Structure 1
Amino acid sequence: MAQQPTASTDLGVLPGKNAEYESREYWDRRYAQEPDSAFDWFKTYADLKPLLAERIGSKDARILMLGCGNSTLSSDMYQDGYEDIVNVDYSAVVIEQMRRRYGHQGRMTWEVMDVRALALGDGSVDVAIDKGTLDALMCDGGDVWEPSAELCENVGREVSEVERVLAPGGRFIWVTFGQPHFRRRHLERASWTVEVERLNSGGFDYFAYIATKRG
């Protein structure tokens, strides 16, 4: 039986400034110092299971996990029957750790990839899930009411890549703490419709943005 990772309840190696959350070097350093740990931003699979069951539908769906990090989400989903999962992260350090940790879950793949330049074919996935990755791209310290052009371009590159790789009828599920008046603007595309679900958690609200690509 594979060794289970140690769940981390703190934030590990904190960056000197929030903008470092966008940096590959920061994440490589952090993961190297936490080789046997797991950390889930915002929500666990137990929290998200009803939402994902409704929005993914078939457990045969091909799922793309964007910025997988050392989260247990993919493994927990795999154990629940969602086996066709492509996990991507631009940190080679964490991808190697996750390959070793979850190699027994053989249908999943772990690939070093930038979510802003996905090496995947057009229309090749049914569902894309982002849990905190887009939020990391927004940590540049800018004005949340009037985000900088650089921030919008950076975030827009990921969203456009997701739009490209989703099959018709496919869904992009983004879990975030960001409220709709700050976040929804970044998802607007002519090719899909966007819904928002509020996820209450002990008095603190999270949100799930679901973009469904038109057929």
Structure 2
Amino acid sequence: MEPENNSEYLNKEYWERRYENEETYDWLLRYPQVKEDISPYITPEDKILVLGCGNSKFSEDLYLDGYRNITNIDISQIVIDKMQEKHQDKPEMRWLVMNMLNMTFNPEEFDVVIDKATMDVLQCDIEDVWDPSDEVKSRISQFYQNVYQVLKNQKHLLQISFDQPHFRRKFVDTSKWNLSEKTLDKGGLPYFLYTLQKKI
């Protein structure tokens, strides 16, 4: 169910309608395709937060690969209810309705935060990629600040995105983050892994 206008991706109602009928969809890449790229930053003991989990198999595949302490959040009540029911045999995984721009976790609660195309949604109504509006910049600043607060010192935010490096860099506050970039050439369109380490 594709929106008539990209700005619909910002609306909770769009996602609720979409998830009523859609069973599974993975944006960009699936876990097996990025496993080797992200594994240096995750251990089985880590407390992991997955942002905008949707109905993706990503968290399920992480879990089956030995990463059990996973918290998944999404703005859609419908998809969280469905995923809770679907994965009730995986008790260590949590499924919470929560807005990534207003998270209510304790400070420094997580060792790893994973964002697969979720922050990209905050740019879906961008008109000029070279000169984003103040509204877009404010959303993204709020995103990074929320993640910064819930992430432990020197731990990592992993972002899998179609956003090219020269556009992504200008949103990252290098006084708070160490940023590294990697092109994920898995065939088809190029995607990117941005690894942001929280500075003390």
What is the TM-score when the length of structure 1 is the normalising length?
A: 0.90
Distance 1:192 1:159 in 2: 10
Residue 33 of structure 1, CA deviation? 2.1
Q: CA RMSD in A?
A: 1.0
Q: Report the secondary structure of 1:47's partner residue.
A: helix
1:44 aligns with 2:30: yes
Q: Select the residue among 4, 8, 14 that pairs with 1:26.
A: 14
Task: Report sequence identity in percent.
Answer: 38
Q: CA deviation at 1:194?
A: 0.5
| 1:120-160 deviation line (CA, Å, top 9, x unaligned) | 01111000000011111110142111000001111211111
- Equivalent residue of 1:204, what SS? coil
Of 165, 174, 186, which residue of structure 1 is paired with 2:171? 186
Matches of 2:148 and 2:127, distance apart in 1: 25
1:203 is displaced (CA, Å) by 4.6
Q: 2:104 — aligned with what?
A: 119
Candidates 45, 67, 74, aligned match of 1:60: 45
Unpaired segments ≥5 residues, structure 2: none
Output aligned runs, 1:93-132, within 5 Å: 93-132=78-117
Q: Find the aligned partners of 1:68 and 1:189 in 2 and give their Cα distance.
A: 27
Please list every run of at least 4 consecutive aligned residues from structure 1 whose deviation after the TM superposition is greater than 2 angstroms.
Answer: none
Q: 1:211 — aligned with what?
A: 196
Q: TM-score, normalised by structure 2?
A: 0.97
The answer to whether the Cα contact below 8 Å between 1:123 and 1:167 also exists between their aligned partners in 2 is yes
CA distance in 2, matches of 1:184, 1:94: 32
Aligned with residue 64 of structure 2, among 79, 82, 94: 79
The unaligned stretches of length 5 or more in structure 1 are 1-12
On the 8 A contact 2:175/2:199 being kept in 1, the answer is no
SS of 1:75's partner is helix
AA aligned to 2:12 is R
Q: Identify the match of residue 17 of structure 1 among 5, 29, 52.
A: 5
Tell me the equivalent position of 1:153.
Answer: 138
**Contact 1:177/1:205 (<8 A) preserved:** yes
Structure 1 Cα separation of the partners of residues 62 and 116 of structure 2? 14
Q: Does 1:171 align with 2:159?
A: no
Please identify, of 141-150 and 186-195, the stretch whose mean Cα deviation from structure 2 is larger. Answer: 186-195
Query: Are the equivalent residues in 2 in contact too, given 1:198–1:207 (CA < 8 A)?
Result: yes
Code of the aligned partner of 1:15: P
Give aligned pairs, total.
200
Given that 1:173 and 1:208 are in contact with CA atoms closer than 8 Å, whether structure 2 keeps it comes out as yes
CA contact (8 A) 1:87 1:109 kept: yes
Aligned equivalents of 2:14 and 2:139: distance in 1? 18
The letter for the 1-side match of 2:21 is: Q
Do 1:145 and 1:182's aligned partners in 2 also have CA atoms closer than 8 Å? yes
Q: Distance in 2 between matches of 1:55 and 1:47?
A: 16
